Amino acid sequence: MSVQTKAGPSINVAALAAARADERYSLHSQHLNEMWVRVLKTIGYDVGFSRGVGPYLYDRAGVRYLDLLSGWGVFALGRNHPKVRDALVGVLDAELPNLVQLDVSVLAGVLAERLLGRAPWLDKVFFANSGAESVEAAIKFARAATGRAGLLHCSHSFHGLTYGSLAVNGDAIFKKGFGPMLSDAREVPFDDLPALEEALSRRDIAAFFVEPIQGKGVNIPADDYLRGVAELCRKYGTLFVADEVQTGIGRTGAFLAIDHYGVEPDMVILAKALSGGHVPVGAVLTRKWVFDKVFDRMDRAVVHGSTFSKNDMAMAAGIATLEVLDQEKVIENAAAQGHRLLESFKRMAKDFELVADVRGKGLMIGIEFGPPKSFKLKTAWNLLETVNSGLFCQLVSIPLFRDHKVLTQVAGHGNHTIKLLPALTICDADCDWIESSFAAVIADAHQAPSAVWSLGKTLAEHAIKARLGA
């Protein structure tokens, strides 16, 4: 309801969004990223989502979709969770002072206390506004704490797209055209302890950044890898930084993915789902001695920070999120439904030669496709690979979206893995929906010719045109 103030009526956001709904793509093309609009139109994703509730999205025609992307993992509690909403409304209603800056926020103190309660070997929290911003902070803290410049990361890693986080990114496509990068960053293969030891043994590495389960590809390390990482980092005086931006807050069926492996990193980075998806947020949980090396004198009390970090909306949403996780047994649900889906997909892998591997923990699941053995399919696969490696996944994700109303993503460039990152609150009926739609699309992909492979031809033509700049 609009309220009359001295300045005129308040903005009715719902009415504004409805009135201009038909212009969403033209507005974006004109004023924002036109290339992105072209991508959406090419793959038929321009359905105009208008509403989001729990794990579901509704398009302009009111059709319901199951969202297995969750805004790149921010909606662990589903969209518009009522308790997170209430917390946000509560902040506004309370007319809290917010961002006084020359004071401290009680809500930030409470959220920090509760986060550290879940990582009791750590003592301090630094709040930021995103995953990348938290990674930047971790880089600065690690250099300040160790007096070393070197940064080590893994092949296929993803830690964000700002310059510091980009320096520890394992995918060349994100770096191309943006050089030079931050110096002193080096890469080692993921899940390779001898390579890590060799890199650390020069004793010039401030921090080793690693995702316990890599988002690009859903790569899961050997059971003893992270324990080995902890030991090697301790041996060579390097800080062990676990980037849990994607894996944290219950995603893998434990609050932190490192909880599965019994390790205690020197820093844990959180973001994405921490605020229930409503407000940008990030956090670095770390040891007191690291923190004290950064903020070591009163005249350096604000030597690192950001204007909006610790804002009351983000902090309240974070506190509400942690409460919902416990009250609604969200993490237990993620573990149980994740186990069910993993087993179903493993059964599917036995029946379908195009499914090369299925892996995951909790509700972070990767379904990897690979070259088929039968001659007919092999020819079609090879043709597609020649045009654009990784294009096959689009042949699965597009029919899933168009015909089964399931929104999925490919787990990185040139990747043959489709990643499932649904809300952690999904129910049995949602799992039925996922299983039946994947089974139908994958079965169709095993027929050539079929609708899936004629889509392949169209996409290959588009890819060639795009490369030619047409």
Ligand X SMILES: Cc1ncc(COP(=O)(O)O)c(C=O)c1O
The residues of the shown chain that bind ligand X, judged by CB under 6 A, are 72, 130-132, 135, 158-160, 211, 215, 243, 245-246, 271
* Residue that has been written with the tokens 């662990």 in this structure: 76
C-alpha atoms less than 13 angstroms from C-alpha of 387 in its C-beta half-sphere? 20
Of 168 and 290, nearer to ligand X (C-beta) is 168
Query: In the beta sheet, which residues pair with residue 5?
Result: 8
Q: Which residues contact residue 354 at a Cβ distance below 8 angstroms, ignoring those fewer than 6 apart?
A: 369, 370, 372, 377, 381, 392, 442, 445, 446
Of 249 and 452, nearer to ligand X (C-beta) is 249
Report the relative pairing of strands 51-53 and 205-210 from DSSP bridges: unpaired
Buried b (16+ CB within 10 A) or exposed e, 343-353: ebbeebbeebb
Annotation says 266 is catalytic = no
- Sheet bearing 56-58, strands edge to edge: 51-53, 56-58, 64-67, 406-407
Buried b (16+ CB within 10 A) or exposed e, 33-60: eeeebeeeebbebbbebeebebbbbbbe
Residue 153 C-beta: closest distance to ligand X, Å: 11
Of 354 and 363, nearer to ligand X (C-beta) is 363
Residue 214 C-beta: closest distance to ligand X, Å: 8
Residue 349 C-beta: closest distance to ligand X, Å: 25
Name the catalytic one among 158, 190, 209, 240. Answer: 158
Strands (E), 37-130: 51-53, 56-58, 64-67, 124-128
Residue 296 C-beta: closest distance to ligand X, Å: 27
Of 205, 153, 196, 193, residue with least CA distance to 174 = 153
- What DSSP state is assigned to residue 14? H
Residue 456 C-beta: closest distance to ligand X, Å: 28
Of 143 and 159, nearer to ligand X (C-beta) is 159
Residue 129 C-beta: closest distance to ligand X, Å: 8
| Backbone angles phi and psi of 349, in degrees to 5 | -60, -30
Of 151 and 395, nearer to ligand X (C-beta) is 151
Of 75 and 453, nearer to ligand X (C-beta) is 75
Of 209 and 369, nearer to ligand X (C-beta) is 209
Both tokens of 349, joined, read: 């892998």
Annotation says 174 is catalytic = no
Q: How many residues in the chain?
A: 470
Burial (0-12, 13-18, 19+ Cβ within 10 Å), 31: exposed
Determine contact, residues 253/329, Cβ cutoff 8 Å.
Answer: no
| Backbone angles phi and psi of 89, in degrees to 5 | -60, -40
Of 159 and 404, nearer to ligand X (C-beta) is 159
What is the distance between the alpha carbons of residues 271 and 277, in angstroms, rounded to a whole number?
A: 10
Residue 243 C-beta: closest distance to ligand X, Å: 5
Name the catalytic one among 191, 243, 266, 312. Answer: 243
* Residue that has been written with the tokens 């229930």 in this structure: 276
Query: In the beta sheet, which residues pair with residue 127?
Result: 283
Of 137 and 434, nearer to ligand X (C-beta) is 137
Determine contact, residues 233/268, Cβ cutoff 8 Å.
Answer: no
3-class secondary-structure state, position 61:
coil
Residue 74 C-beta: closest distance to ligand X, Å: 8
Report the relative pairing of strands 406-407 and 64-67 from DSSP bridges: parallel
Residue 314 C-beta: closest distance to ligand X, Å: 12
Select the residue whose beta carbon is closest to ligand X and give its number: 131
Annotation says 192 is catalytic = no
Q: Which residues are catalytic?
A: 158, 243, 272
